A = this chain, B = another copy of it.
């Protein structure tokens, strides 16, 4: 890591993102059921953290909005910890304007309507029914910001079937520029693991990258982002 840092510092292409502000979201969100229970997405935050670190190493000023992740946030970034999707949306709005937004967080699609202030008791009447409501769509919100829209908005699609097809549709539906799609079926070992196998979907087409470490995915993605922004 030290050698890599020195090489990067000496490289003529280093710091190509100096002066750029990039927003990265990462980790899961936790949606409370009551003070001790919650609904969440599985997400270690490893891929988002690696991307933020890679962008910072290219000289970008990085705002890192993170849900409760299981890996520590990257040094040298402005870390904004949040818990719920609603809090993440607020933090993302506050981070604007940005030159690029890399939305790697696994935001819970639903929250529990009227979560309880006190711990729910098991009681005699059996389990409660959880009424869910749609959470705000943070990716679509950022992609639709109009004059405040970052020049590059990158979404992520974690799928378990029809990965590329679902991701291609998501790119159009959200009006974002790129989608980084991956297959998170438990058999892949990608969720919670050290490697990732992604397909990058852009208006120009699709590229499937070989399976590599999450740090290598981050480095390659950061270089691609730098090509657009610099």
Chain A positions within 8 Å of B, measured between CB atoms, are 33, 35-42, 70, 106, 108-110, 118-119, 122, 126-134, 158-161, 184-186, 191
Contacts and interface: CB of A to CB of B under 8 A. Distances in A.
B132 A186 contact: no
A21 to B, nearest CB: 30
Given A118-B160, A122-B109, A160-B119, A184 B127 contact: no
A35 B160 contact: yes
A186 B130 CA distance: 22
Contact of A110 (B106, B127, B185): B127
Contact of A37 (B41, B126, B127, B128): B41
Contacts of A133: 127
Consensus secondary structure, chain A interface: loop
B129 A36 contact: no
21 contacts: A35-B160, A35-B185, A36-B42, A36-B106, A36-B160, A37-B40, A37-B108, A40-B40, A109-B122, A110-B127, A110-B128, A118-B160, A119-B158, A119-B160, A119-B161, A122-B134, A127-B133, A127-B134, A129-B132, A130-B130, A130-B132
Contacts of A38: 39-42
B127 A109 contact: yes
The 3 closest A-B pairs by CB, nearest first: A127-B132, A110-B127, A130-B130
Number of copies of this protein chain within its complex: 2
A131 B129 CA distance: 6
B39 A158 contact: no
A35 B186 CA distance: 7
A206 to B, nearest CB: 20
Contacts of A191: 36
Contact of A159 (B40, B119, B126): B119
A30 to B, nearest CB: 8
A38 B41 CA distance: 6
Given A36-B158, A119-B161, A122-B134, 14 more contacts: A35-B160, A36-B41, A36-B42, A36-B184, A37-B39, A37-B41, A38-B39, A38-B42, A70-B70, A118-B160, A119-B159, A119-B160, A127-B132, A127-B134
